[in-house]
């Protein structure tokens, strides 16, 4: 196993823009990017849009936005250009057609003229004889006269590769070592479709050659196609790149690839996102996502789990990539994201919190947001947590909690009402409404009325925020201000009085 190559390092990420960027695709792009950056090489973005039925023009924009969000910049690509363009395959059709014809002319490939109905008949025949599905090679050795007859009928052929029928194809993979394939078990794969568009097999080999790609890092699910690709390199007589097949990212239970069609779930049954857009919307930071993905299948060394991409660039090599597929641990991502949130400068955190708050329908005040950011910072796993923790700061109208949620363990409704009234009086008498003075006064009150401080604090939290879980109590009331805090405490006391049928004591 080796990643050594005398050629300048050039890697590529070549997605097919048929939808949003998959989280596994982002990891593949990241590994190619890390490898190129480690070797001071070039990272290329190439668009494989030859499947015109599934191609979505909007998907390319979304895909590129997702990569930029993650910080994976490319040196060459459809938007930045480069010396080996164009970087969109549909703009390179004449190149693929030329080299497909070269293969035919040199007896390395052949035209195959079957209609869809005839191919279906071949499939059913193989199935009835309990033979492996595929193609029976019946047009592999047509005479020139037979080909001419088919073309006279107006049939447009596909071009198929002439795979060796005997022996083995042996490919040295930089992660898996020598991988052996029996040629007799391989198919004569379609290289060029009848509409003149190439399949992935032809297009990526031609592009990798002319773009001078030195290393191909791609998911292990492509391993079955390796003998076809390797035989294509041999047929052309071109120097192949170093192949490295990356471990597949599995569902959290270790069974099956993460798929949008069958969404994975965590231990609690919650659906786990599989698209990068969903992680952005869910409030994850790009730094945390990349750190997390790097830990799935690659080992930084010295048992370190938290590192920057600059650290990863310095250490990245293929010898630390595992051969085995790896499960996706969602709880580890939440843990990592929380750590990265806590390390953010408050100014950047406040800027990032604006979007989830506005998406939730709140009108955000910049001054208040700056005050709130450090209060929520140590409690969040995702940026979206700010809505639950601190959304109450931005309500147009305060939404009090139901009265029956105010009493805490060991306190009756009447005791709770009395405690709120006394708390309001004590807070009203404070010279300065700082969180330090508030806390000292409330601790003294709790001791005087014989309740645990935590119980009194929880009562006040529900009274002033309308919820049981929120930002730190006294800092919250300091931000709300004396008048608003006292108004909410009085409102809560009134609710309890109505609940127990007792009038509020006059001030």
DSSP β-ladder status, 158-161 and 249-250: unpaired
- Bridge partners for 47 per DSSP: 88
In what helix (H) or strand (E) does residue 499 lie, and over which residues does it extend?
Answer: helix 482-500
Q: What is the pLDDT of residue 166?
A: 95
**8 A C-beta contact, residue 261 and residue 234:** no
DSSP β-ladder status, 158-161 and 109-112: antiparallel
Name, in order, each residue with C-beta under 8 angstroms of 113's C-beta and a sequence gap of 6 or more.
139, 142, 147, 150, 151, 155, 157
- DSSP calls for 350-361: HHHHHHHHHHTT
Taking phi over 0 as left and psi of -120 to 50 as alpha, with beta for the rest, 94 belongs to alpha
In what helix (H) or strand (E) does residue 160 lie, and over which residues does it extend?
Answer: strand 158-161
Alpha helices (runs of H) in 242-398, residue ranges in sequence order: 276-281, 286-294, 309-315, 330-342, 346-359, 366-377, 385-390
Predicted confidence (pLDDT) per residue in 114-168, tens digit: 999 999 999 999 888 888 888 999 999 999 999 999 999 999 999 999 999 999 9
Residue 255 catalytic?
no
**8 A C-beta contact, residue 47 and residue 14:** yes
Name, in order, each residue with C-beta under 8 angstroms of 281's C-beta and a sequence gap of 6 or more.
none
Catalytic residue among 257, 260, 332, 371, which? 260
Q: φ and ψ at 363, to 5 degrees?
A: -95, 115
DSSP β-ladder status, 10-13 and 42-45: parallel
Q: What is the pLDDT of residue 1?
A: 39
Cα angle 282-286-289, degrees, rounded to a multiple of 5? 80
Q: What is the pLDDT of residue 151?
A: 95
Domain boundaries, the chain: 344-394, 403-500
Q: Is 491 exposed, middle or buried (0-12, 13-18, 19+ CB in 10 A)?
A: middle
- Write the DSSP symbol of residue 198: B
Q: What is the pLDDT of residue 47?
A: 94
Q: φ and ψ at 279, to 5 degrees?
A: -70, -35
Q: Is 295 helix (H, G, I), strand (E, B) or coil?
A: coil
Query: pTM (2 decimals)?
Result: 0.90
CB burial string 118-154: b at 16+ within 10 A, e below: eeeebeeeeeeeeeeeebebebeebeeeebeebeeee
Domains 344-394 and 403-500 share a fold: no
CB burial string 392-405: b at 16+ within 10 A, e below: bbbeeeeebbebeb
For domain 344-394, give the fold. Helicase, Ruva Protein; domain 3 (1.10.8)
Cβ count within 10 A of residue 417: 27
Q: φ and ψ at 185, to 5 degrees?
A: -95, 0
Residue recorded with tokens 């408050």:
346
**Is 1.10.10.350 the CATH number for 403-500?**
yes
Regions in the chain scoring below 50 on pLDDT? 1-2, 504-507
Helix axes 226-236, 200-210, angle to 10 degrees: 50
Please give the Cα distance from 327 to 372 (Å, whole number). Answer: 36
């Amino acid at each position: 196993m080796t990643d050594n190559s005398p050629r300048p390092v050039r890697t590529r990420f070549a997605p097919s823009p048929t939808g949003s960027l998959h989280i596994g695709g982002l990891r593949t792009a990241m590994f190619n990017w890390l490898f190129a950056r480690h070797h001071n090489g070039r990272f290329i973005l190439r668009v494989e849009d030859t499947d015109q039925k599934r191609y979505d023009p909007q998907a390319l924009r979304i895909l590129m936005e997702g990569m930029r969000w993650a910080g994976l910049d490319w040196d060459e690509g459809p938007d930045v250009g480069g010396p080996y363009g164009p970087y969109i395959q549909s703009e390179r059709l004449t190149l693929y057609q030329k080299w497909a014809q070269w293969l035919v002319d040199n007896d390395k490939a052949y035209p195959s003229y079957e209609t869809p109905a005839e191919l279906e008949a071949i499939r059913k025949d193989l199935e009835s004889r309990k033979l492996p599905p595929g193609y029976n090679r019946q047009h592999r050795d047509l005479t020139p006269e037979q080909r001419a007859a088919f073309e006279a009928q107006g049939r447009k052929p596909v071009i198929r590769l002439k795979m060796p029928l005997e022996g083995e194809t042996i490919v040295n993979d930089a992660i898996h070592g020598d991988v052996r394939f029996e040629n007799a078990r391989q198919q004569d794969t379609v290289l060029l479709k009848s509409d003149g568009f190439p399949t992935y097999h032809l297009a990526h080999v031609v592009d990798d050659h002319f773009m001078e790609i030195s290393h191909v890092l791609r998911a292990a699910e492509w391993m079955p196609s390796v003998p076809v690709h390797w035989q294509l390199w041999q047929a052309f007589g071109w120097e192949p790149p170093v192949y490295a097949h990356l471990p597949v990212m599995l569902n959290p239970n270790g069974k099956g690839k993460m798929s949008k069609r069958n969404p994975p779930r965590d231990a609690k049954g919650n659906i786990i996102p599989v698209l990068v857009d969903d992680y952005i919307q869910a409030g994850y930071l790009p730094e945390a996502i990349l750190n997390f993905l790097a830990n799935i299948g690659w080992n930084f060394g010295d048992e370190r789990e938290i590192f920057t991409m600059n650290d990863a660039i310095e250490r990245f090599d293929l010898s630390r990539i595992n051969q085995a597929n790896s499960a996706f641990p969602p709880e580890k991502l939440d843990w990592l994201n929380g750590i990265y949130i806590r390390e953010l400068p408050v100014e950047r955190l406040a800027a990032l919190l604006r979007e989830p708050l506005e998406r939730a329908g709140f009108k955000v005040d910049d001054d208040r947001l700056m005050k709130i950011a450090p209060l929520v910072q140590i409690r969040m796993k995702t940026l979206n947590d700010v809505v639950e923790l601190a959304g109450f700061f931005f309500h147009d109208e305060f939404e009090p909690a139901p009265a029956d949620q105010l009493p805490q363990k060991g306190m009756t409704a009447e005791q709770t009402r009395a405690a709120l009234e006394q708390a309001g009086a004590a807070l009203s008498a404070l010279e300065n409404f700082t969180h330090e003075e508030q806390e000292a006064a409330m601790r003294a009150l709790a001791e005087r009325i014989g309740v645990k401080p935590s119980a009194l604090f929880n009562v006040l939290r529900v009274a002033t925020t309308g919820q049981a879980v929120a930002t730190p109590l006294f800092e919250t009331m300091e931000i709300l201000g004396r008048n608003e805090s006292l108004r909410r405490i009085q409102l809560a006391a009134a609710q309890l009085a109505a609940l127990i049928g007792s009038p509020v004591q006059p001030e």
